[in-house]
Amino acid sequence: MRHVHGRARRAATALAAVLTWAGLLAGTAGCTSGGGGIGSDIGEMLGKPPAAEDVIRITPDDGSKAVRPEKKLSVRVPDGRLESVKVVKSQDAQETEVPGRISEDGLRWEPDDRRLALAAKYTVDAVALDGHGRRSARHTTFTTYVPDERFIAYVAPENRSVVGTGMIVSLQFSDRITDRAAVERAVTVTARPSVEVRPHWFGDDRLDLRPEKYWKPGTEVTVALKLRDVEGAKGVYGLQHKSFSFTVGRSQVSLVDATKRTMEVRRDGTLLTTVPITAGAPTTPTYNGKMVITEMLDVTRMNSRTVGFGGEYDIPDVPHAIRLTSSGTFLHGNYWAPAGTFGRANVSHGCVGLRDVKGGGSDTPAGWFFDRSLIGDVVEVVNSKDKTVAPDNGLGGWNMSWKKWKAGSAVK
């Protein structure tokens, strides 16, 4: 009897541990197709892989702000091994990769320089296998401390980048700006060939700038930030005094028709191809309107809880993920829906899905589109049952009339 009781206690303990692990499941970003998503009942939860944040532990935490320079940056796994870690630091419109190395046992990554830079944004992308050989991916960001009552602007696009014709210059300020006119006067945008570029404020911490129409291919753009010692708010002064530049590449505009379930890809006005897609389901439609590519990820995890849904899906390795809005709309590869879905049914939770294979294929529609896209390319959605995307959701400013855009300037 004593032996039986011992086995029963061990079984109960094991079940409790599994239930606790299942209760910890959470996600990181995005939305995916409803077809083939992981259910939320307890039986299915017991079969789920652990959430990416449990497999890959990144310090500082995702979304942390004002991180002190002495805070340790690390990526680690409790078991299994790290496959790859890429850390990028964005500071004063300069993007540089942070050197570091994975330990011999594969359990941790640490930077060569243990001290974080001030007034910088860090982006961490890590891929790992857990102890059971299951792959997970994490994408996190954090920003560091800006000292002495200073403010800075986090800028997009990156310095010396080549972008699509729909790129909008966006400045996200580290502090609330009360004298918006003073800050606006300290920011100038020049273009060759010349074109009028006007600013528009979204709230008190974001300033976007664009021309009336998409940039012409080949345009060279320089943004000058003369913010040093400009008083943006009482007692808070700017820190930056520098310029960054970018070049506008070829024109690529893609038209997603949610009713026809197709995407027409046009390069410099010429139709390259028409791709079958799946858009948002009737209960979770895709936004209408012009959306600009702001981020491209080879692989990422998407979890419904991070975008306001319940536990409808949790996909750990979504391939060819292209961000269209800050609220979580992606155009991405989909390997879990049946091939017959694309072009025939809208089943996603608001994203646009292209046929793909697990791990991402270069010869699939998703891989083909990913390889031919740039940050700043435009994807326009029409004939969806949802509203038009808000102009401040991602780089959605092209959905605002030129008259309303110019009215958003603080300098009259």
Structure tokens at 64: 């942390």
Q: Which of 290, 283, 263, 286 is nearest to 274 (CA)?
A: 263
In angstroms, the CA 314 to CA 52 distance is 10
Largest CA distance in the chain: 89
Identify the active-site residue in 139, 200, 332, 349: 332
Alpha carbon 146 to chain centroid, angstroms? 23
One-letter amino acid identity for 185? Answer: R
CA atoms of 312 and 396, how far apart (whole Å): 27
Q: Are 90 and 98 in contact (CB under 8 A)?
A: no
DSSP, collapsed to helix, strand or coil, labels residue 347 as coil
Rounded to the nearest 5°, which phi and psi values hold at 28? -120, -40
Residue found under tokens 């500082």? 60
Half-sphere exposure (Cβ direction) of 212: Cα atoms closer than 13 Å: 5
Token digits of residue 387: 């509203």
CB hemisphere CA count around 22 (13 angstroms): 18
Report how far residue 155's alpha carbon sits from residue 134's, in angstroms, rounded to the nearest whole number.
36
Q: How many whole angstroms separate alpha carbon 296 and alpha carbon 318?
A: 12
Signed CA dihedral, 333, 336, 341, 347: sign only: negative
DSSP E strands in 249-364: the ranges are: 252-257, 262-267, 270-276, 289-292, 295-303, 314-323, 330-334, 352-355
At 264, is the secondary structure helix, strand, or coil? strand
E strand or H helix that includes residue 15:
helix 2-23
Respond yes or no: is residue 3 known to be catalytic: no
CA distance 260 to 299: 28
Closest CA to 341 of 40, 36, 30: 36
Active-site residue, selected from the candidate residues 139, 200, 320, 351: 351
- Whether 241 is catalytic: no
DSSP 388: B
Q: Which residues are catalytic?
A: 332, 351
